[in-house]
Amino acid sequence: RIPLMVATSPSSKVKASNILHDAQFFTKKQYLNQKDLVNRLQEIFKKFRDLEQPPDGSPMPFSDQVAQNLVHEHYLNHTHKDVQMLIACITSDIFRINAPDHPFSPSQLKAIFGLWLRHFQLLVEPKEKDKAIFEMVFYVLERTAVVKSFVVLTDPQLECDGETEQLFDLFLNRINPAHFESEHVVHKHMEVILQSILDETDTITPDLLGTIQSNLCGARRKNKTHGYQLAKSIIDHTGDKLQATLSHVMETDLNDNFQAAAKFDMADMAESTKHRQKHLDEIRRNLELLEELEVIHPVFLGPKLTPFLETPSEDLRHMTVETVCNIFRSHPFYCKTYASVFAHFLARSMDRSKKIRARMLVWFQEMMTEDDTFRDTYYGKILEALEDKEDVIRRQAVNTAAEIARRHPLSVPKALITGLAKVCRSDRKALVRMHCMQKLCTLYAELAPGWMDGGPTLSKLRQMYQWIPPVIMSFYTLDSDHEIKEAVLRLIHAMLPPTTKGKSKAEVDGIDQGAPYAKAFVGLYRCLDIQTPCKSNCLQEVLAAKASLRKTVSEFVRLRSVLKNDKAPPEDKRLYDYHIAQLTDKTASLRSDWLELAKLRDEKIFKCLASLVDPMAVPSMAEAITLKEQVVSKVKAATKSEQLGVFAQTLVAKLLFPVAPEHVEAMLRQMEDATPETMLAIMGALSTLAEVLPSLVSSSVEQLAAFVVSWTASAACVADCAILRFALRALGRAGGPIPQNGASHQKLLKTLKGLCLSGSPDVRKLALHCINRTTERHMEVFKTVAAGLGEQLVVGRRGTPSLLGTLKGLQVLFSLCPAKDWAGVSKAVLKFVKADVLQHYTATQETGENWADPPYECTAWAQGIKVLGSYVMHSEEDPADQIKFLFNLFKQLNDNLQTVSSSYKLTCLFKGVVKLLCQPRCRRLILPTHLRLLMVANIFESNEHARQDMRDVVHQYLLSGKLPMKYCWMLIVNVLDHNKRNAAMAKDQVNRVIMHYREQQRRFDKSGQKISLSDQQAVLICPEYILPDLLYQLAHYPAFEDHHPNYEPIQTCFYVFFEAITRDTDNVSFFYKLLQILKRYDDRLQPKSKNTKVLCDIAFDIVHNEYGKTRQSSGKPFPGTVNVPAVFCASKSVEDDTTVYMPSTFKLMGKARALKAIPLDQMKPEKTETSPAKEQAANKRPANAVSCAGTPAKRRKVASAPEDEDSDMGEPSPRRSTRIRA
């Protein structure tokens, strides 16, 4: 018996009327018309709606015959929809009043259920006009749910499996309660109905079970749809009853599909892949169900799932591992309950599949970051992964160990941290060592500020991680990879956290900014202490890093001393805040005398300096004051005891002491009888000191000159010229003048001449620079050296190693001495370089594989390009012929970029052309050809190292100001690099350049020379004027038409530019006006081309849709005028300004997608029936549609757009191949 679920109040009792007993009305159809029938049914509905269930033993308030006549086929299928609706409502009340019995026959029951299902289908696609009908359907849904009328469907005699399956499909897959206001109520009613059916049924058909299961996996599971939530609830409610059935079905399906997939692994048939994938999809579906059906976990986490973990198929093992990972992740106690399965599962951490080992690492990280016991028990699995044979797995293991240490810095097993140190020191892959080093630096920078204030817990934390800086710095002496060494320098400089970032002005004013910075500098200097003897030639890099940090400290102390005065002006405080923000930048420090630091009475600064003497102890202020005397005494003691090795080791490790001129003299005296290792260390230190503080070495110039002469004549110099290079560098950088009288000067000059003619390339360069500082008559010396170098250029001897040194010397000579002073030699040199070096090696096809160590022909090519470029830049002759020669070489190289050698040569040529762009007279000759755009477009086909080098040189020249701001487009187009890492780096460099220009603009404003966007000088200073050149160059992109109609590569460039230029600046209205005005101009190179106008429309849409409604945009029109570059000319046509030239099917990519830097090789242009060149119609905006603020147009007209024509100046048509042909 089904209990009555309806409760009615006494006030709702109504006496039954004769209308409920008049069975003949429906039998004999006594109604006059349909309206009369509907009225009678409405009266009956109201009567039944108010009736309550009679007490036990009492007669029913209605006639059974009336109920049976109402469900006659004539009324159930009546043409009038209101009749069917009223019958459905009345029958639902009959079930309520008559429960648990009913007066209907089996056939009538099936007809009633069919009627209800038909009305439930009205909820699939609800419409606002059917609101009254929905209320009636909701009434039926509520009555049937409360009374559980659909339980009758479970009667086997009715054979209503089809209706049951239809009901489940309707509720789970088709009706969405979110469309209705009472969403929760509708969902609850459907849930009650389905649960009641499953509670009473004895058997479940496969189709019904499949309907439920399909909502627990795939997209429905991922999106958490209504069907997923409903299926989940009914399974949870009836899980005990369905457990056996679900377990049997899933076990059968899994076994069958696993066997079938394994069979297709070994099968040799045409469609084996297709059939195998079908079975894999079924397995994936069943495993997702296993994760969802928690009642089945205990059944499967045993012998049933264990064989799947050891199947030979990698795909099947991976899917099983993924499922078991998720189960153990959500139920950690299963690890002990099912120990045997867990042991088999842990063995997958050593699986032969790299993909499975990677998934296990992710699971280990999730478990260890949450469970301390699990972390202490199974951390050995991470250590095993740190020694994996695959580089990717070792890098992922480094990430896992670092993340665990970051989450639990005190409780992390020490062996994990030791394992990271081992990877840093001894991993066979340089990239893995560098990645581990970066993770350790990030970990150290995050944890270090926490232990500055001391305390027992923080002291323990410091003891655990203070080894990180020495290990990282040991790369300078232990690691042979040059990129590792450069990365160490970048990381060390990046370990200064800005303390004011993210704090309000009141918080910044209320804290002492000096204390955290002083402590941070102490930690950095400790990082730079050298703990092991230095035997490599990279010592000067370590010393340069120390010197750079020392300058930063010096500037910081100077600013603090300025602010000692409480009445310091606001400008000084602003300057102090600015320099605080620049402390991590090597270019922001100033040179000052370190001897003045000892005079400052600042305890924190004294402690910072004193810590340099003994990093393990912080002495008192009195000890810090005697810092200079301590250094002098140490130098004198080392000199007297003649402990040269000990002295050199101490000097190198403690170079950051305040150094006086007498210390330099003492260092030079130690060179007389020192070993080569000691001499290398001391001369490297002197070279660094001469670069940072030239005045310190000025008094020792004569001793340096004498050493250069004596060392050059020694036999040791021939074997190792590293010491000679350091000595020449120190002599060339010394602050004082080099004496020019006497025999010593003549000896030095003779020695330098010999080095210019017979030394290595680096030695020749340094010797020429020393000559330039040594004598006032250097022009005559240069002519002699030039003649000697010219004689060394013999045709046919281009393959000798001395040629590289000769070319290097000639390059330096061209830059130091005008070519007109040695015109005869320069003409011969130029002819030899062009014919016997460049043209000869252009045709040479050596295939070097190592970018860092190019073959001889590439090195000679690079030197030849530098010689030719130096001649063009420093010669007074017309450079047109030389520039034409360079671009001819470019065309020849561009035809074959398959080898590393060709890419290397192209890179050298690119760097030379960029240098020429830095000179106005050369720039004017390059601009009309527009070949620079084609050059940049073609670098995407070259070697990855080549593209990176080309991008870096443009970035460097833009930051230094050598390359004008308008050439920033050469950097922006690099975001289309088909290497995602390079594209991301290009975006960062674009942002850095824009920020640099912004800072430069602020300096002008603060100096009183405020420049607005309407001024003529704004084209040179304001980065907003990069847009016209970027737009113009993209309009000449060789593959412009290939990307019709959406132009996604061009959109990517625009998005990257606008994202950087609109940051914290209200310039949107300026871009509105600039783009509107540029649209009125024609392309000067191709007047009939509409490409620039198309790009104006695209840029306008991007600005308006993505940046026009940001917080920085005020929405006010730009009040001034804009400057138009000379590459645009006034249009001669009288076209309407509102004409829209971009394709009618154009779609914006969106900021989120565009800023992912989509590579070119992944972009497939959409194929359309018409190309933009053949598209004869363009849309128009109304005249008043675009205001200065950029209101978008709502209507469009058609205007003709003529086809593009090729230029007469040598630019290839966009229809041609991207590659330039000779």
State the SS3 of 1014-1050: CCCCHHHHCHHHHHHHHHHHHHCCCCCHHHCCCCHHH
Give the residue-averaged pLDDT of 687-701.
70
Indicate the pLDDT class of residue 1023, thresholds 50, 70 and 90: very high
Q: Is the pLDDT of residue 711 over 70?
A: yes
The DSSP symbol for 321 reads H
Q: Is the pLDDT of residue 780 over 70?
A: yes
Q: Is the pLDDT of residue 725 over 60?
A: yes
- With b meaning 16 or more CB within 10 Å and e meaning fewer, what string describes 112-128? bbbbbeebbebbeebee
Alpha helices for 794-930 (secondary structure H) = 802-816, 823-832, 840-842, 856-874, 880-894, 900-917, 920-926
Indicate the pLDDT class of residue 503, thresholds 50, 70 and 90: very low
Report the C-alpha gap between 749 and 777 in whole angstroms: 11
3-state secondary structure of 728: helix
User: Which of residues 688 and 904 earns the better pLDDT score?
Assistant: 904
Residue 1166's pLDDT is 38
Share of the chain above pLDDT 70, in %: 64
User: Which of residues 954 and 479 earns the better pLDDT score?
Assistant: 954
Q: Is the pLDDT of residue 1027 over 90?
A: yes
Residue 128's pLDDT is 65
What would the DSSP string read from start to end of 452-475?
TT--HHHHHHHHHHTTHHHHHHTH
**Domains 10-239 and 634-776 agree in fold:** yes
- Report the mean per-residue pLDDT for the chain: 71
Lowest mean pLDDT among 168-182, 414-428, 1186-1200: 1186-1200
Q: Is the pLDDT of residue 888 over 80?
A: no
Report the C-alpha gap between 1048 and 1032 in whole angstroms: 17
Token pair of 1031 as six digits: 């737009």
Token pair of 611 as six digits: 């810590």
- C-alpha distance from residue 907 to each of 182, 198, 265 (Å): 68, 73, 48
User: Which of residues 1076 and 261 earns the better pLDDT score?
Assistant: 1076
Residue 134's pLDDT is 83
Give the residue-averaged pLDDT of 1205-1221.
33
Residue 547's pLDDT is 53
Indicate the pLDDT class of residue 638, thresholds 50, 70 and 90: very low
Give the residue-averaged pLDDT of 186-191.
90
1082 forms beta bridges with 1129
Q: Name residue, tokens 């076209």.
A: 1135
Residues 6+ apart with CB under 8 A from 780: none
User: Which of residues 1004 and 393 earns the better pLDDT score?
Assistant: 393
Report the C-alpha gap between 615 and 853 in whole angstroms: 39
User: Which residue, 35, 57, 36, 60, is CA-closest to 47?
Assistant: 60
Indicate the pLDDT class of residue 1036, thresholds 50, 70 and 90: confident
Share of the chain above pLDDT 90, in %: 6
Report the C-alpha gap between 52 and 461 in whole angstroms: 75
Q: Name residue, tokens 């598209």.
A: 1175
Q: Name residue, tokens 């050469």.
A: 970
Q: Is the pLDDT of residue 491 over 60?
A: no
Angle at 648 (CA atoms; ends 647, 650), nearest 5 degrees: 65
Phi and psi at 476, nearest 5°, equal -65, -25
Q: Which CATH architecture has domain 634-776?
A: Alpha Horseshoe (1.25)
Question: What ranges do the domains of the chain cover?
Answer: 10-239, 634-776, 1032-1199
User: Which of residues 733 and 244 earns the better pLDDT score?
Assistant: 733
Lowest mean pLDDT among 380-384, 396-400, 530-534, 843-847: 530-534
Q: How many other β-carbons are positioned within 10 Å of the β-carbon of residue 966?
A: 20
Residue 1026's pLDDT is 93
User: pLDDT tens for residues 528-570?
Assistant: 443 333 333 344 444 455 555 555 555 555 555 555 555 555 6
Indicate the pLDDT class of residue 487, thresholds 50, 70 and 90: low
Give the residue-averaged pLDDT of 935-943.
57
User: Which of residues 62 and 362 earns the better pLDDT score?
Assistant: 362
Report the C-alpha gap between 933 and 1212 in whole angstroms: 11
Token pair of 961 as six digits: 């100001």
Residue 1096's pLDDT is 93
Q: Is the pLDDT of residue 80 over 80?
A: yes
Token pair of 528 as six digits: 């730079």
CATH level 3 topology of 10-239: Leucine-rich Repeat Variant (1.25.10)
The highest-confidence range among 280-294, 491-505, 1062-1076, by mean pLDDT, is 1062-1076
Indicate the pLDDT class of residue 1057, thresholds 50, 70 and 90: very high
Residue 1102's pLDDT is 92
- C-alpha distance from residue 75 to each of 112, 115, 140 (Å): 11, 10, 17
Q: Is the pLDDT of residue 430 over 60?
A: yes
Lowest mean pLDDT among 485-489, 588-592, 1104-1108, 1163-1167: 588-592
User: Which residue, 745, 743, 749, 808, is CA-closest to 784?
Assistant: 749
Contact 166, 197 (CB under 8 A): no
Residues 6+ apart with CB under 8 A from 1144: 1045, 1179, 1196
Q: Is the pLDDT of residue 953 over 70?
A: yes
Report the C-alpha gap between 1181 and 1199 in whole angstroms: 10
User: pLDDT tens for residues 754-779?
Assistant: 888 888 888 888 888 888 877 665 67
User: Which of residues 684 and 999 earns the better pLDDT score?
Assistant: 999
Side chain identity at residue 374, one-letter code: F
3-state secondary structure of 1197: strand
Percent of the chain that is helix, strand, coil (3-state, to 5): 65, 0, 30
Report the C-alpha gap between 1041 and 1020 in whole angstroms: 32
Residue 586's pLDDT is 34
User: Which of residues 315 and 795 earns the better pLDDT score?
Assistant: 315
The highest-confidence range among 290-304, 506-520, 651-665, by mean pLDDT, is 290-304
Residue 18's pLDDT is 60
User: Which residue, 457, 632, 652, 476, is CA-closest to 547?
Assistant: 652
Indicate the pLDDT class of residue 495, thresholds 50, 70 and 90: very low
What would the DSSP string read from start to end of 491-505?
HHHTT---TTTT--H
- C-alpha distance from residue 440 to each of 402, 527, 1026 (Å): 7, 13, 39
The highest-confidence range among 28-32, 420-424, 577-581, 939-943, by mean pLDDT, is 420-424
Lowest mean pLDDT among 35-39, 63-67, 802-806, 875-879: 63-67
Residue 1075's pLDDT is 92
Lowest mean pLDDT among 399-413, 718-732, 807-821, 935-949: 935-949
Side chain identity at residue 839, one-letter code: Q
687 forms beta bridges with none
User: Which of residues 604 and 66 earns the better pLDDT score?
Assistant: 66
Q: How many other β-carbons are positioned within 10 Å of the β-carbon of residue 510?
A: 9
Indicate the pLDDT class of residue 488, thresholds 50, 70 and 90: low
Contact 848, 854 (CB under 8 A): yes
Residue 941's pLDDT is 59
Indicate the pLDDT class of residue 735, thresholds 50, 70 and 90: low
Side chain identity at residue 69, one-letter code: N
Give the residue-averaged pLDDT of 496-511.
40
Q: Is the pLDDT of residue 979 over 50?
A: yes
Q: Is the pLDDT of residue 582 over 50?
A: no
Q: Cα dihedral sign for 691, 696, 697, 698?
A: positive
User: Which residue, 874, 746, 885, is CA-closest to 822?
Assistant: 874
Token pair of 230 as six digits: 């409903």
Report the C-alpha gap between 724 and 709 in whole angstroms: 10
Residue 1099's pLDDT is 93
User: Which of residues 333 and 461 earns the better pLDDT score?
Assistant: 333
Q: Is the pLDDT of residue 1063 over 50?
A: yes
Q: Is the pLDDT of residue 1128 over 70?
A: yes
Lowest mean pLDDT among 55-64, 321-330, 554-563: 554-563
Report the C-alpha gap between 82 and 162 in whole angstroms: 26
Q: How many other β-carbons are positioned within 10 Å of the β-carbon of residue 617?
A: 9
The highest-confidence range among 301-305, 846-850, 1006-1010, 1087-1091, by mean pLDDT, is 1087-1091
Q: How many other β-carbons are positioned within 10 Å of the β-carbon of residue 482?
A: 12
Q: Name residue, tokens 């509670």.
A: 199
